[in-house]
Amino acid sequence: MLFSEVVAASAAVRATRSRKAKIAALAELFASAGPTEIATVVAWLSGELTQGRIGAGWRTVTGLDTPPSAEASLTVEAVDAVFTQLTGLSGTGSALRRRELLTELFTAATADEQSFLLRLLTGELRQGALTAIVVEALAQATGIPIEVVRRAHMLSGQLPATAVVAITGGEAALRAFRLEVGRPVAPMLASPGGSLDEALAELGPRVSVEHKLDGARIQVHRQGEQVWIFTRTLRDITAGVPELVELVRGLACTSVVLDGETLALTDAGRPRPFQETMSRFATVADTTELLLHPYFFDCLHLDGRDLLDEPLQARRTALELVAGEHAIPALVAPDAEAAADYYDDALAVGNEGVMIKSLDAPYAAGRRGKSWQKIKPAHTLDLLVIGAEWGYGRRTGFLSNLHLAARDEETGEPVMVGKTFKGLTDELLRWQTAEFPRYQSGTDGHAVFLRPELVVEIALDGVQTSTRYPGGVALRFARVVRYRPDKEPQQADTIATVRALG
């Protein structure tokens, strides 16, 4: 397949806001890709490389000054081969060889291909071809039911690998996907709820009420003595959390997959700030200084039995059996008064609120549904930072006022919904000013514009209709709670969620 075909499909996707048109353009491309090309094509149009990081950063790529080729001759295979070569470079002379390979590649590319390569390699391939759209396009290209493709993707955790199986093995091969211990599953997500009474009325009396912890999401896998610990984004952090590994090895089972949260606690047993817990995920820290404590709330597999499709009540029974004191306590099928008391208790001990979960619902891997609802005393949203303004007064010299956006669920594009500088501590101001240039896509002198890759949690009193921002709404009394390095951009809240608060 010619590389120009991928570039043309990308251009078609960027040129339309129609979800149907995006899916059609991608489906046509996927249908013509060969078995050895489909994984690469799917990864590129999701804005990723199959090789991961290849050492070709913004400065390296934008520093190239090569005239484009007049004719399209590059193939998908040839471009991918260059990326693979770049991945293997290290040591003396590697910087020179990297520049030589990139120069050769860009010289062979047309102007449109050069533009695509630049955006792909610098993380700016923002075209609305998000995972959900790519999954639908793959289903359309192969004629396989969307639910089959979606489930296989959630169980595999890798969209390119799912695409290969769909193209080479068809529906039967995708249906054969099972939860595999050691391979992370996309986590089930909760929806923001209104009030406690509203959630109880919607989900009915058969619910589990749990404390909502201000911790970091973890997914734990064990097979015999082998243990894996994954983050919300499915990153393997096993080497950095030995105390969790030791604890999981001590559970009374042969194989298990658990979903939960982990927190660092104070000497008094109260949760430490979220950023302190997350600091353990950044590097292999000194575990004697900041120990993590796990709290598991779901069991997806136990001793050879997959539980994803079982109702929560059955999964809860398995959880309590295997996790014991490490299972987060739950109030099962309470009346409204008992649930309200439990909510007050959660806040009193320093937790964020409560989770209300339907006891009859299966585990919807990778999906955000109404069967799990989070209830907090204040509205919070996970939004994308798409810009920041240089401060004045005591904030002179710091990037301050944040430009905030929600995701358009149809196109995947960021939609601006407000600005705020409230809640920014001196520490955060220093961090933003040092960190934001890594994500810069432009500037007008007053503001720095960023690629939508950073997720920040914003507290607000509500939203109101407004023509000031493209989303048609504005945030009321928005203030920064914290950044969410555990969340990918596609996990930010949608514009529909924001509007629903109005």
Q: Over 50: is that where the pLDDT of 347 sits?
A: yes
Is 477 annotated in a binding site? The answer is: no
Residue 230, in any domain of the structure: yes
| 322 & 347 share domain | yes
| 371 & 390 share domain | no
Is 210 annotated in a binding site? The answer is: yes
Q: What's the Cα-to-Cα distance from 318 to each of 16, 180, 255, rounded to whole Å? A: 48, 18, 12
| 112 & 235 share domain | no
Q: CATH number of the domain at 427, please.
A: 2.40.50.140
Nearest to 57 by CA among 111, 95, 90: 95
β-sheet bridge partners, residue 305:
302
Average per-residue pLDDT in the chain? 89
Q: In the listed set 333, 351, 375, which residue is the last one of a domain according to the structure?
A: 375
Q: Over 90: is that where the pLDDT of 175 sits?
A: yes
Cα 223 from Cα 40, distance rounded (Å): 31
What confidence score (pLDDT) does residue 333 get? 95
Is 232 annotated in a binding site? The answer is: yes
Residue 184, in any domain of the structure: no
| 171 & 195 share domain | no
20 is a catalytic site residue: no
| 273 & 312 share domain | yes
What confidence score (pLDDT) does residue 126 get? 58
Residue 258, in any domain of the structure: yes
pLDDT band at 267 (very low <50, low <70, confident <90, very high): low
pLDDT band at 287 (very low <50, low <70, confident <90, very high): very low
Q: Over 70: is that where the pLDDT of 459 sits?
A: yes
Q: Over 80: is that where the pLDDT of 125 sits?
A: no
Q: Please calculate the CA angle 204-205-208 and round it to the nearest 5 degrees.
A: 100
Q: Which residues contact 405 (CB under 8 A, 6 or more apart)?
A: 383, 384, 385, 386, 414, 415, 416, 417, 452, 471
Q: Over 90: is that where the pLDDT of 87 sits?
A: no
pLDDT band at 359 (very low <50, low <70, confident <90, very high): very high
Residue 16, in any domain of the structure: yes
What confidence score (pLDDT) does residue 346 get? 92
Q: In the listed set 176, 209, 240, which residue is the last one of a domain according to the structure?
A: 176
Is 427 annotated in a binding site? The answer is: no
Residue 181, in any domain of the structure: no
| 215 & 170 share domain | no
pLDDT band at 128 (very low <50, low <70, confident <90, very high): very low
Q: Which residues contact 283 (CB under 8 A, 6 or more apart)?
A: 240
What one-character DSSP code corresponds to residue 265?
B
Is 296 annotated in a binding site? The answer is: no
Q: In the listed set 176, 210, 227, which residue is the last one of a domain according to the structure?
A: 176
Residue 156, in any domain of the structure: yes
- Residue 193, helix vs strand vs coil: coil
Is 499 annotated in a binding site? The answer is: no
Instruction: Print the domain residue range for 269.
Output: 189-375
Per the structure, the count of domains in the chain is: 3
Q: Over 60: is that where the pLDDT of 119 sits?
A: yes
| 362 & 467 share domain | no
Cα 344 from Cα 351, distance rounded (Å): 10
The pLDDT of 431-445, averaged and rounded, is 93
| 206 & 120 share domain | no
Q: Over 50: is that where the pLDDT of 439 sits?
A: yes
Which one of the listed residues 22, 212, 357, 487 is annotated catalytic? 212
- Give the pairing of strands 399-407 and 414-420: antiparallel
Q: CATH number of the domain at 330, please.
A: 3.30.470.30
Cα 479 from Cα 467, distance rounded (Å): 21
The pLDDT of 209-233, averaged and rounded, is 93
The pLDDT of 381-402, averaged and rounded, is 94
Q: What is the pTM of this model?
A: 0.73
pLDDT band at 269 (very low <50, low <70, confident <90, very high): low
| 279 & 316 share domain | yes
- Using CB atoms within 10 A of its CB, is residue 238 exposed (0-12), middle (13-18) or buried (19+)? middle
One-letter-per-residue 3-state SS of 244-261: HHHHHHCCCCCEEEEEEE
Residue 347: enclosing H or E segment and its boundaries? helix 336-348
